[in-house]
Chain A
């Protein structure tokens, strides 16, 4: 940061450099499995398990869908993730709006209740859901999977919306109302467009959580085979490189969405700073 006061800059010798080395190493560590997966999607494995590097090939990518069972399982997971994410976001949105906009009595408790499932080990929830479904005769398969994944996504969707809404400026809504917009119009034309980044974040987070989940799925899937269940079976039989290819695709999409979502505002801010006349308040306050 160029705007550091001199006193703090004095000590900016060894410590920041060590910190930077530490952080870059940690990022390397965080990325290494992703890199391994991406690398091994180009591997030509000789045995049944794509775990040791043998040689470079593009065949896995060219025959992306050659493993029929895997492709179908992956399709199941994607459908499940999108449906559960949409459901969870739709359920979390009204609560988030009420809690953060109007703040009626008990809002804090409501927020806490929404986040409570995060405080419980997933395996406990899995057992509980399975026993409940058995008791209530809910078919184990798509219905139970969808219910379990909606629960999985609900708390995280609420968290993502909360992060967005706590910084939301409600004066635009007031202005729209003053100009004679009906509540529905305010909601559809002012509030929801303003919340779009938060909604997208909630959706994307939910989708990646649902795709990532192994535990709840293993307890509630019944006979439906989703991606993690297929992978789990494959680990005993044969780890085909298509698992790596599909995972790499998901990884690229998620990273792309992340980069666009977070880097765009930074770029925009930078271009705004180049024309300081627009936001005098911005240039006055240090980040």
Chain B
């Protein structure tokens, strides 16, 4: 990374303007509009004119409506992030440590799931988990069904439309976003450092805790965030893979705005979701950086 060199020339300022303007109009303005709508009241029952209203009525309404769903969404997103970490860390380490010259290709292949449309991906999972599908038949033949019912992987003999299926879908969609930054972070660890740790009689666990983990932390944290935030706002997985009681806050929001057209309540709920995401971002900003654990 180059040093910051100081002054802007006119040409540079002109060059960055279109992009920044786009972001202003398409990113900042929508968020401001959400803020405004969440504090507005319609003047008449018909028509779109509204006035600002210093009453948190829409927020109260949104929280009353979405409270439990919101909590469950946060828990689900956090669980999915944890699972991604569990599955993704060893994979990222393997790619970096043993990938050799195929490292770019192996890293790229992690993105494969993203080449399928989110809905098509969900269709594929429903094929795999379907009631007469291959996975369930395999499980039925293996006689593990009663045990899986107990731990909640199966609900009433079904794999599809369960909380476990939703969690699997969220984990699957999040994995690429966790592995990519992690690979980038892990590739910066020089092999010599591990040699030094081994020279100093550090076992694998110790060198993992004292060398690898601190250096991988930036990628780890941004990866977790990139997994958590889309999972929190999930709509598709809950709709296709989850059961009727597994609706996420995204489904509720979509229904509020697109079906019921309750724009003010929807805006308030979106603001709440935005605040949760911002809190996660701030936590990331305050997390320990390189080397300080």
**Interface positions of A (Cβ within 8 A of B):** 1, 4-5, 7-8, 11, 15-16, 19-20, 22-23, 26-27, 29-34, 36-37, 40, 51-52, 91-92, 94-95, 97-98, 100-105, 107-108, 110, 113-114, 116-132, 134-135, 147-148, 150-151, 154, 166, 208-209, 211-215, 218-219, 227-228, 231-232, 235, 239, 243-244, 247, 250-251, 254-255, 258-259, 261-263, 265-266, 269-270, 286-287
Contacts and interface: CB of A to CB of B under 8 A. Distances in A.
B233 interface: yes
Interface residues on B, range: 35 or more
A235 B30 contact: no
B7 A104 contact: yes
Contact of B105 (A5, A15, A266, A270): A266
21 contacts: A1-B100, A22-B90, A30-B112, A33-B121, A40-B124, A51-B126, A94-B19, A103-B3, A105-B4, A108-B4, A121-B229, A123-B254, A132-B30, A135-B48, A219-B257, A228-B117, A235-B240, A247-B117, A261-B108, A263-B104, A287-B101
Interface of B: 1-9, 12, 15-16, 18-20, 22-23, 26-27, 29-31, 33-34, 37, 48, 87-88, 90-91, 93-95, 97-98, 100-102, 104-105, 107-121, 123-128, 130, 132-133, 172, 175-176, 191, 194-195, 198-199, 204, 225-226, 229-230, 232-233, 235-236, 240, 250, 253-254, 257-258, 263, 266-267, 270, 273-274, 277-278, 281
B127 A227 contact: no
Contacts of B111: 258
B82 to A, nearest CB: 16
Given A125-B30, A128-B30, A150-B26, A22 B94 contact: yes
Contacts of A110: 16, 20
Contacts, number: 281
B93 A11 contact: no
Contacts of B114: 208-209, 212
A121 B34 contact: no
